[in-house]
Amino acid sequence: MNRLDISRNFFGISELELQEKFSDWKVETYRVHQVFTWVYHYHCRDFNEMTNLSKSLRSQLAENFHFALPQIQSRTHSKDGSIKYLLELEDGAVVESVWMPSESRKTLCLSTQVGCRLNCSFCLTASLGLKRNLNTAEIIGQHLAINAELKEEDQITNIVFMGMGEPLDNLGPVVGALRLMISPQAMKISTRKVTVSTSGLVDKMKAFQNENLSINLAISLNASDNATRDRLMPINKKYPIEVLIECLKQYPLKPQRRHTIEYVLLAGINDSDEDAQRLAKWLKGVPSKINLIPFNSFDSSEYRPPSKERVLKFQNYLIEQNFSAFIRQNRATDILGACGQLAAQSEASATS
Ligand code: SAH
């Protein structure tokens, strides 16, 4: 058997696991810190270069672990500066990640599953069905592989789990990835700069809360009544709006933090004045800010985005009711890189 087959990808290893391994090997646990510093701060990908470790520990590590990152298969550049990356995983599966620059931040939107099984009717990823979950190494690997090729001033500052898949439907690996992202020994990203978006899997939201990560959640509400939400997001039949809202009311937040409520605006479906009023009613007493996302179209879709006037009227009503309501700027729509447009097709037109 090839050594890679029995060794594990180091990018999926938590500090705790390495500590356990080291105590089995009778190695001092402070060495874990040294190894993590080499890997995550100095970007070292070869145990032999870790010169403050003994030769025997270096070879023991090399026998047990290897380093594997997703391979960048293509890059598609948007007019707005965003780049959509197609990444190939070890088994040949592909996922997409989107890098979005702005003056104040560089945000990476990453994927947690190959496809998705939630079948939301307005989302292109749904057409793939769920192919498989990503593991921890594949989740952080999107960040590491892309950052490695970006210039100093373009390095990723913020992460949103809003790419392909439902993060809370793949909870263990996602939590593993988040721990590595926010750990000061590893990727050292502030919890404020990471957002996990969910379609509202209430049981998993509670489990996520129990992990005590202090990571912001964004909740895709997308409708103001259960009949409409049932149609748009079949998961609503399991966790209807009132159950989801109750969960948000109970969800402990750190001071100054709010939930993000995402609301995709679909012309004639969920964008009326009555919808805005019902939405405001639901969110009364929920510490939240609302992100309105005008629908991003794709060929096979029956939906359309509302007119600009409609979107502004919807937003204004919410602001009048004292909510913070923003219109999410659509990014990368020209390259099918925006919310709900990811389906990981290899594109002949992609520029590498
Ligand atoms: N499964 C997670 C994360 C992926 S979707 C979730 O549901 O939150 C990220 C965001 O994009 C969600 O708020 C979703 O409602 C929105 N979205 C999906 N398809 C879209 C589309 N075609 N246009 C605009 N937003 C879309």
Distance 125 CA to ligand 1 centre (A): 9
Average pLDDT over residues 300-311: 95
Residue identifier of the C-alpha nearest atom 17 of ligand 1: 340
How does pLDDT run across 202-237, given as a tens digit for each residue?
999 999 999 999 998 999 999 999 999 999 999 999
Q: What is the side-by-side order of every strand in the sheet holding 94-101?
A: 71-77, 83-88, 94-101, 106-109, 158-161, 194-198, 216-220, 259-265, 288-294, 324-327
d(CA 113, CA 126): 11
As for ligand 1, residues whose beta carbon falls within 6 Å of it are 122-123, 162, 166, 197-199, 220, 222, 262, 264, 293, 295-296, 339-341
CA torsion through residues 55, 138, 331, 85, sign: positive
pLDDT single digits (tens) 147-187: 999 999 999 999 999 999 999 999 999 999 999 999 999 99
Per-residue pLDDT for 351 more than 80? no
Contact, 112 vs 174, CB < 8 A?
yes
Identity of the amino acid at 271: D
List pLDDT tens digits, range 81-99. 999 999 999 999 999 999 9
CA 82 to chain CA mean position, Å: 16
Residue 352: pLDDT above 60?
no
CATH topology of domain 3-66: DNA polymerase; domain 1 (1.10.150)
Instruction: Note the pLDDT tens digit of each residue in 35-90.
Output: 999 999 999 999 999 999 999 999 999 999 999 999 999 999 999 999 999 999 99
Give yes or no: 96 in active site.
Answer: yes
Distance 270 CA to ligand 1 centre (A): 15
* Catalytic status, residue 123: no
Say what the pLDDT of residue 96 is. Answer: 95
Kindly give the distance from the C-alpha atom of residue 220 to the centroid of ligand 1, in angstroms, as a whole number: 7
Residue nearest atom 12 of ligand 1, based on CA coordinates: 220
Q: Which residues pair with 35 in a beta bridge?
A: none
Q: Where in the chain is the domain with CATH 1.10.150.530?
A: 3-66
CATH code 3.20.20.70 region(s) in the chain: 71-350
Lowest mean pLDDT among 25-29, 125-129, 207-211, 221-225: 125-129
Which pLDDT value is given to residue 337? Answer: 78
- Ligand 1, atom 24: closest residue by C-alpha: 295
Which of 170, 264, 290, 296 to mutate to test ligand 1, by most ligand atoms within 8 A of the CB atom? 264
Q: Positive or negative, the Cα torsion across 8, 14, 18, 20?
A: negative
162 CA distance to ligand 1 middle (Å) = 7
Q: Ligand 1 pocket: which of 128, 204, 231, 293 to mutate (most atoms <8 Å of CB)?
A: 293
Q: Does CATH number 3.30.1490.20 belong to domain 71-350?
A: no
Q: Tokens standing for 109?
A: 């939107």
Structure tokens belonging to residue 322? 């004292």
